[in-house]
Amino acid sequence: MTSKQIEKRFDFFKTVLCVLISFVIAFILILLVSKDPFETFKVFLIGPLQSVRRMANVIELAIPLTFCGVGVAIMYSANQFSMITQSSFFLAACLSSWFAIYVKLPRGLHSLLVILMGAIIGGAIAAVPAFMKVKWKASEVVSSLMLNYIVNNFVAYFLIYVFKDKDAGFNASYEFHKSAKLTVLIKGTRIHTGIIVCALVVVFAYLLLYKTKWGYAIRAVGQNQDFAKYSGIAVASVMMYSQIIGGIISGIGGSVEMMGLFTRFTWEAPPTYGNDALMVGILARYNPAMVPLSALFLAYIRTGADVMSRVTDMPIEFVFIIQGVVIMLVAADMFLAKWKHKLIVKNAQKQIAVKEVAK
Amino acid sequence: MPEEILLMDNITKVYANGFVANKDVTLSVNKGEIHALCGENGAGKSTLMKVLFGSETPEEGRIVIKGEEVKINNPLEAIALGVGMVWQHFMLCPSLTIAENLILGMEPKKFGKFGPLNMAQANKVAQEACEKYGFKLDVTRKVEELAVGNKQKVEILKALIRGAEILILDEPTAVLTPQETAELFVQLRHLKELGHTIIFISHHLDEVKELCDRLTVLRLGKSVGTAIVADVTQQDISRMMVGRDVMLKIDKTKAQPTETVLKIRDLTYKDEEGRDIVKGFSASVRKGEIVGIAGVEGNGQREISEIITGLLPLNNGEITIDGQSIRGKSIRQIREMGVAHISEDRMTYGCSENLSVKDNIISDRYYKKDYKQGPLMNNKKLDSEVDELIKEFLVKCGDRNEPVRMLSGGNMQKVVVAREFSGDTRLIVANQPTRGIDVGATEFIRRKLVELRDGGAAVLLITADLNEALELSDSLVVMCGGEIVAYFEDASQVTDFILGEYMLGLKRMSDEEIGRVCYD
């Protein structure tokens, strides 16, 4: 076994261990709070599996998380820690809705237009912190966070002053044309054709990152910017396009979510998918191929907590504690690092011994 | 009879990658003297001082301070024993005041141990220290506003205020102007009068002569000897420093140079603080020859190599490759002109530790048409080429997907040269190509350089290793203080002793002799 293989196995094992630890902590919390802890924990663990509708809920929730998670995976692979997925998703959902209301096109084509607009909007807003970083060395973390506030208020303004349906009785846009909506795939659930778009995006992102020259440049810049520069890679342009692609993918996610699940735009505040995507991305170690898995995991514990809060005395908020623990453990590079080192050293010594015997 | 305050006895230090930095080094320092520690780069001076300061743990040997054997596990223990270190690169917080920097970690408090900082007391303590040691500083000023010389004073005070009796100064004059250097010497003499012991690391022999009482010379990790400064001449010291030990013979025929590939004219470069790093450097390198630039590191060689390869901008002067100017060209454009670059900084520029061997080798070519397959990269082709290079350059690794960080230093460098020496190479800029790597890899890389020369490449070899400079170069340039001080048309006629005198700034050729480096 090579050291590389040991590392890979170890990283997988470590992730599983982190999840287990967080579940133990979850159980302890439930023990402390709940009157019937075993029942509550059972509901949390297997609640989402107990009906088709709940299973569908998990998948519906995993779709936007996957889109944003893939966006994060690409940006973070280039070492660009932009928080713009939040805005790309939110702004794209809002502005592309306009095209679902005021444009008329045949079915299919209309959805395509809306998603395309979402992509453009998501990419455009992500370009702002990217450009500020390249041009003025403004930290993309800070500028994207600040931009998120601006976008939040802009969307609220847009909803209330531009396309609010006065007859709706609450803050909601006019209804989307039927032709823009994505079709439901499985009867009795809300799982829509957006899942196909999602799968395509995952495959596209994986190929982009690991099989194309652009992806190579992203990874080279992400691992060592000086090395990339020395090798002749145009570092600034990589910083730009990695963030824009991340924004495009999150933007597609926003439009797909809107056209898949809703009939009007009603979000006065952004859904948390953009920030949840950070967790999804980190859990997947920025590998787009692993993002759907980690999105499903997050969607599963969210749904589990939701079911639990409805049928037991445990509040839903406790799921955030679990999330936090998982992320902290996965993100902490040094967690179990000594153990890993021991494994690698032991293996190396074994190989030397084998060689000597062979002689 | 002088009292011995410090004895480092038979220190041996081996780094994790197997590099022996110190081998049975012995250093004895008397109380109240200024003791010079001389040696070339890589001679083991810094390692020895890191051992003394507790940043490195020696494999063998003992340290005796004031007659008592001690074990120093970390810098805090070193400080407690009265050892202070003044690093060449300042360890200061620029946004804090001088006083704040001085008391960092030992802040005077109001109302007991956990109370708020007593700033007035801090300023007083700092001011008193300044007066005691004769430093003229306004302790309420921020460190970022200070000139380099004053920053250094703060650094020295920081060590003194923590009770340093033995003060280590690591090449303190490297960053100073001549005036600042003179001022520093006055202060160091004052400290000596106050009873402090100073270990002064330098390879400027005139400074050693002027300031120090005794000196110890290290060469290739071993101690050569200790002498009283007054008893030896600069020539003697130079001979102790640069004598050659191991002869690594490389067979090579006489160079058959043809047309000029690299032409540098009147190159000057100032750093961010406006100091002249390169002053009017001119040279030519022809196809089929190796031109060596010898010199102590930090005399402008690094900047020259980085300007040629596009990492630093070409501001003043002119550089052409095959008659084409490189002005305004990107690094990739310069590389596409056939320029290969071995950086002296292997871990920053040369390779990316977390990327695989393959990804490290393809970084300069991955985008080219030859490796395209539709919208994707042709990984099959890249893989087979990488496998061939791994074989050709004898890189010892599990397979091409192994991260470079898992390789030894020598093998990392082989990955770098596998990339740089493959492809259409017109000009190779090799900056310290064999620094810090094992003998086997060193020999391999040197042979490859000669092979490429014979194949028609122009090679500019920058090295601080005299053996390498003399063994590999066809003609040889010596740099000191940012300019050429000597040019030897035939490197085989030069001895290490002569070279040493020029490198250390004891001698300089006439402008006419140096001018021959531009033969057209």
Residues 6 or more apart whose Cβ sits within 8 Å of residue A335: A14, A18, A329
Q: Name the residue in chain B with its Cα closest to that of A217.
A: B363
Six-digit token string for B447: 């042979």
Question: How far, in Å, CA of A177 to CA of B451, rounded?
Answer: 72
pLDDT in tens, chain B (520 residues): 678 899 999 998 877 655 678 888 999 999 999 999 988 766 788 889 999 999 888 888 999 999 899 999 989 999 999 999 998 778 888 899 999 999 888 888 888 778 888 888 889 989 998 888 888 888 899 998 888 888 889 999 999 998 899 999 988 887 777 778 888 999 999 999 999 999 999 877 888 999 999 999 988 788 888 999 999 888 888 778 776 544 567 778 888 888 999 999 999 998 877 788 899 999 999 999 999 999 887 788 999 999 999 999 998 999 999 999 999 999 999 999 999 999 988 888 999 988 999 999 999 999 999 999 989 999 999 999 999 999 999 988 888 988 888 787 788 999 999 999 998 899 999 999 987 777 778 888 999 999 999 999 999 999 887 788 888 999 999 998 889 999 998 888 888 778 888 888 888 888 888 877 776 6
Q: Under an 8 A CB cutoff, do B355 and A220 touch?
A: yes
How close does chain B come to A220, measured CA to CA in Å? 8
Same domain assignment for residues B43 and B102: yes
Q: Is residue B166 part of a domain?
A: yes
Least Cα distance to A14 among A354, A357, A339 occurs for: A339
Given a cut of 90, whether residue A223 has pLDDT beyond it is yes
Domain boundary (B242, B268, B295) is at: B242
Q: Name the residue in chain A with its Cα closest to that of B341.
A: A230
Same domain assignment for residues B234 and B111: yes
How close does chain B come to A231, measured CA to CA in Å? 5
Same domain assignment for residues B308 and B197: no
Same domain assignment for residues B200 and B56: yes
Six-digit token string for A207: 């190929």
Residue bearing tokens 């453009």: A120
pLDDT of residue B511: 83
Q: Under an 8 A CB cutoff, do A227 and B367 touch?
A: no
Does the global pTM surpass 0.90?
Answer: no
E strand or H helix that includes residue B480: strand B475-480
- Report the mean per-residue pLDDT for chain A: 88
CA atoms within 13 A on the CB side of B115: 9
3-state helix, strand, coil in chain A (%, to 5): 75, 0, 20
Q: Is residue B247 part of a domain?
A: no
Q: Under an 8 A CB cutoff, do A224 and B354 touch?
A: yes
Question: How far, in Å, CA of A306 to CA of A314, rounded?
Answer: 10
Same domain assignment for residues B238 and B264: no
Total domains present in chain B: 2
pLDDT of residue B309: 95
Same domain assignment for residues B404 and B486: yes
Chain A residues in contact with B354 by the CB 8 A cut-off are 223-224
Sign of CA dihedral B126, B132, B135, B138: positive
Question: How far, in Å, CA of B331 to CA of B335, rounded?
Answer: 6
Check: CB of residue B250 under 8 Å from CB of residue B453.
Answer: no
What's the one-letter identity of residue B185?
F
Higher per-residue confidence, B133 vs A117: A117
Same domain assignment for residues B439 and B350: yes
DSSP-assigned letter for residue B145: G
Phi and psi at B166, nearest 5°, equal: -105, 120
Question: How far, in Å, CA of B352 to CA of A220, rounded?
Answer: 8
Angle at the Cα of B345 from the Cα atoms of B174 and B151, rounded to 5 degrees:
30
Which domains does chain A carry? Answer: 1-34+314-359 (no CATH), 48-313 (1.10.3470)
Least Cα distance to B46 among B72, B81, B4, B15 occurs for: B15
Question: How far, in Å, CA of B80 to CA of B289, rounded?
Answer: 55
Higher per-residue confidence, B177 vs A46: A46
pLDDT of residue A335: 65
Same domain assignment for residues B492 and B438: yes
Angle at the Cα of B225 from the Cα atoms of B224 and B227, rounded to 5 degrees:
145
Chain B residues in contact with A76 by the CB 8 A cut-off are none
pLDDT of residue B36: 94
Interface contacts A/B by beta carbons within 8 Å: 83
Number of H helices, E strands in chain A: 14, 0
Mean pLDDT value across residues A190-219: 95
- Burial readout B69-103 (b: 16 or more C-beta within 10 A, e: otherwise): ebebeeeeebbebbbbbbbbebebeeeebbbbbbb
Point out which residues pair with B83 in neighbouring strands. Answer: B166
Q: Is residue B418 part of a domain?
A: yes
Mean pLDDT value across residues A247-261: 95
Q: Which residues of A touch B (CB under 8 A)?
A: 2-4, 207, 211-213, 216-217, 219-220, 223-224, 226-234
E strand or H helix that includes residue B290: strand B290-294
pLDDT of residue B271: 83
Question: How far, in Å, CA of A45 to CA of A26, rounded?
Answer: 10
Phi and psi at B33, nearest 5°, equal: -110, 160
CB atoms within 10 A of CB A209: 25
What is the extent of the structural domain holding B162?
4-242
Least Cα distance to B81 among B175, B5, B178, B152 occurs for: B5
Quick: pLDDT tens for A323-348: 888 778 777 765 666 676 666 666 66
Q: Is B498 exposed, middle or buried (0-12, 13-18, 19+ CB in 10 A)?
A: middle
From the list B363, B375, B401, which residue is nearest A220 (CB)? B363
Same domain assignment for residues B426 and B468: yes
What's the one-letter identity of residue B344?
E
Q: Is residue B520 part of a domain?
A: no
Domain boundary (B209, B242, B275) is at: B242
Angle at the Cα of B237 from the Cα atoms of B231 and B241, rounded to 5 degrees:
150
Least Cα distance to B101 among B50, B141, B54 occurs for: B141
Q: What is the CATH number of the domain that holds B294?
A: 3.40.50.300
Least Cα distance to B355 among B407, B417, B309 occurs for: B407
pLDDT of residue B464: 81
Q: Is residue B251 part of a domain?
A: no
Domain boundary (B207, B242, B277) is at: B242
Question: How far, in Å, CA of B146 to CA of A329, rounded?
Answer: 43
The rounded percent of chain A whose pLDDT value lies above 70 is 91
* Residue in B336, B352, B359 to test binding to A, most A beta-carbons within 10 Å: B352
Residues 6 or more apart whose Cβ sits within 8 Å of residue B252: B450, B453, B454, B472
CB atoms within 10 A of CB A333: 7
Q: Under an 8 A CB cutoff, do B406 and A212 touch?
A: no
The SS3 of residue B278 is strand
Same domain assignment for residues B178 and B58: yes
Phi and psi at B65, nearest 5°, equal: -115, 125
Q: Quick one: pLDDT band at residue A258, thresholds 50, 70, 90?
A: very high
* Residue in A227, A235, A286, A343 to test binding to B, most B beta-carbons within 10 Å: A227
Per-residue CA distances from A234 to A217, A241, B149, B347, B362 (Å): 9, 11, 38, 20, 15
Q: Quick one: pLDDT band at residue A224, thresholds 50, 70, 90?
A: very high
* Residue in B17, B329, B331, B402 to test binding to A, most A beta-carbons within 10 Å: B331
The rounded percent of chain A whose pLDDT value lies above 90 is 54
Same domain assignment for residues B53 and B93: yes
Residues 6 or more apart whose Cβ sits within 8 Å of residue A137: none
Q: Name the residue in chain B with its Cα closest to that of A4.
A: B402
Chain A residues in contact with B405 by the CB 8 A cut-off are none
Same domain assignment for residues B320 and B184: no
pLDDT of residue B248: 61
Question: How far, in Å, CA of A291 to CA of B518, rounded?
Answer: 60
Q: Is A193 exposed, middle or buried (0-12, 13-18, 19+ CB in 10 A)?
A: middle
CB atoms within 10 A of CB A135: 10
Mean pLDDT value across residues A41-63: 90
From the list B309, B330, B398, which residue is nearest A3 (CB)? B398
Check: CB of residue B335 under 8 Å from CB of residue B367.
Answer: no
Check: CB of residue B248 under 8 Å from CB of residue B465.
Answer: no
Q: Which residues of B touch A (CB under 8 A)?
A: 309, 311, 330-332, 334-336, 341, 343, 348-355, 359, 362-364, 366-367, 371-372, 375-377, 379, 398-399, 401-403, 406
Q: Is residue B485 part of a domain?
A: yes
Quick: pLDDT tens for B91-114: 888 899 999 999 888 888 888 778
Sign of CA dihedral A266, A269, A270, A271: negative
